[in-house]
Amino acid sequence: MKEIDCRGLACPAPVLHTKATLQQDRPESVRVLVDNAASQENVRRFLESEGYEIRIERTGQDYVIVGRAAGAAARSEERAAAAKPAPDRQTLLVLCTSDRLGRGDDELGRRLMVNFLKTLREVGPDLWRLVFVNHGVKLTIDSSEVLEDLKGYETSGLKILVCGTCLNHFGLLERKQVGETTNMLDIVTALQLADKVITV
């Protein structure tokens, strides 16, 4: 059991100390002592994000956060369980890598993509995730012709994932209007879980 005393330290120091300890070696279990609620919450979050199972103990004014490694496998299963769709349905993921459909005429491709996304609703409840990467992220910003359609999908419960790296690359982070800005791990997990992936 690794013990880290972070009493007397203000945020974000307790998280950083814990992080440094985890980087040296990955202990099976770890105890972190803090003396305020904010640090307790932050260290708990950090250990959870690192795949530890958490128990909190109170000793006087102090908090002890006890983390037990759940293991990398358990962690990815947990991610999967959280994201797993209803078992009786086929799950369809549509990966949009461009704001045009097909190659050749750009103007035609633009119109086709608009039509494609408007028509996609005909797939019905099997449609499970809509993922936008590369030029595709431009379909999620304020000037998008399909913004209202995408918002409609989202309102009806379809989860839309938008690549944060791509938005950043095009300088569009602040113009995105629909969907959840996400990272590659979430995209890869979604691809893995889907029964069928359509790439356009």
At residue 85, the 3 state secondary structure works out as coil
Part of the chain binding another protein (CB under 8 A), chosen from 72-80, 110-118, 119-127, 178-186? 178-186
Binding-site member from 76, 134, 181, 189 for another protein (CB under 8 A): 181
- Name residue 31's beta-bridge partners: 3, 66
- Closest alpha carbon to 153 in 123, 113, 181, 183: 123
The reply to whether 1 sits near another protein by the rule CB under 8 A is no
The reply to whether 51 sits near another protein by the rule CB under 8 A is no
Binding-site member from 3, 8, 28, 45 for another protein (CB under 8 A): 45
CA–CA separation, 125 and 144 (whole Å)? 24
Site for another protein in 82-141 (CB under 8 A): none
Residue nearer to another protein on the CB measure, 9 or 197 = 9
Q: What tokens appear for 165 in the block?
A: 């790296």
How far lies 24's CA from each of 2, 16, 65, in Å?
A: 11, 13, 19
Site for another protein in 145-174 (CB under 8 A): 154, 164, 167-168, 173-174
Alpha helices by DSSP H, 84-163: 106-119, 147-155
- Closest alpha carbon to 105 in 97, 117, 113: 113
The reply to whether 61 sits near another protein by the rule CB under 8 A is no
Binding-site member from 51, 67, 136, 179 for another protein (CB under 8 A): 179
The reply to whether 26 sits near another protein by the rule CB under 8 A is no
Binding site for another protein (CB under 8 A): 10-12, 15-16, 19, 36-39, 41-46, 49, 142, 154, 164, 167-168, 173-181, 183
